[in-house]
Amino acid sequence: MAIIPILMYHSLSSEAARGFRRFTLHPDLFAAHVAFLRGQGYSILSVAGLFQPLPEKPVVLTFDDGFLDFYTTALPILQQHNATASLFIPTAYLDGTSRWLQSLGEGTRPIISRRQLLEIADAGVDCGAHTHSHCHLDTVTAAQGRAELAQSKEILEQIIGRTVTTFAYPYGHHHAEARQWVMDAGFRAACAVRNAISHSDDDLFALARITITDQTNVGRLAALLAGLLARPGVKLTTRLWRQARLLTGG
């Protein structure tokens, strides 16, 4: 059984609203992360790379939400180190801004364009779906959930001209039924969060990821990779949070 750390990034920027700050890593820190991983002998993969025979020391990089700074900042750093990643895009916001983050003061953060998405895919990045509207899949109806998955997959495939096989649950929220929707939609793997190390025999439709925050320096990254700081989520907390979102519409 191979150990497979899957790291979850969001935006690379030196600026962010207070409510979104923890999800925004300074570009210099990301460059240091990639250099550290290479220096430690890691093979840097995308989620789609898990479908191939695994190298001796794999690590998977993922970016949620399709922010423009993936194109302007992350991609050049990855290319410099001959590395790749998975980028998960909520398709309703292509060529626009992160309107779903309005309540956090980040409704105007730019999202990649369709042209940039094609360039990113042509550069070898695994472009995966993140629903169409960045919805909570564990609070929608089956019809709504299936439509979100089908629409996002279809739009991405039309733009990049290749099959989309990977998916990430927005906010990490999902349940057994949502996992079935993902499988039925034709995806081969889906990322959750859970803040835990993944393994080669884990459920491919509920892959654990480790959240990278603005405080994740190289020392903390080393500890996360060693499993010293990562820990599984608490199911009771998840249930209570789901109920709160249903009541508030958040």
Residue type, 166: T
For the record, the structure tokens of 110 come out as 């730019």
As for how many domains the chain has, the answer is: 1
Residue 232 DSSP symbol: P
Which range of residues forms the domain containing residue 193? 3-248
User: Nearest-CA neighbor of 60 among 226, 198, 230, 214?
Assistant: 198
Residue 68, domain CATH: 3.20.20.370
Q: Are residues 14 and 53 in contact, defined by beta-carbon separation less than 8 angstroms?
A: no
| pTM summary value | 0.91
Residue type, 70: F
Q: Are residues 25 and 16 in contact, defined by beta-carbon separation less than 8 angstroms?
A: no
For the record, the structure tokens of 100 come out as 């779903």
pLDDT in tens, the chain (250 residues): 899 999 999 999 999 999 999 999 999 999 999 999 999 999 999 999 999 999 999 999 999 999 999 999 999 999 999 999 999 999 999 999 999 999 999 999 999 999 999 999 999 999 999 999 999 999 999 999 999 999 999 999 999 999 999 999 999 888 999 999 999 999 999 999 988 999 999 999 999 999 999 999 999 999 999 886 654 443 333 443 344 344 333 4
- Which residues make Cβ contacts (< 8 Å) with residue 198, sequence separation at least 6? 3, 4, 5, 6, 60, 207, 208, 209
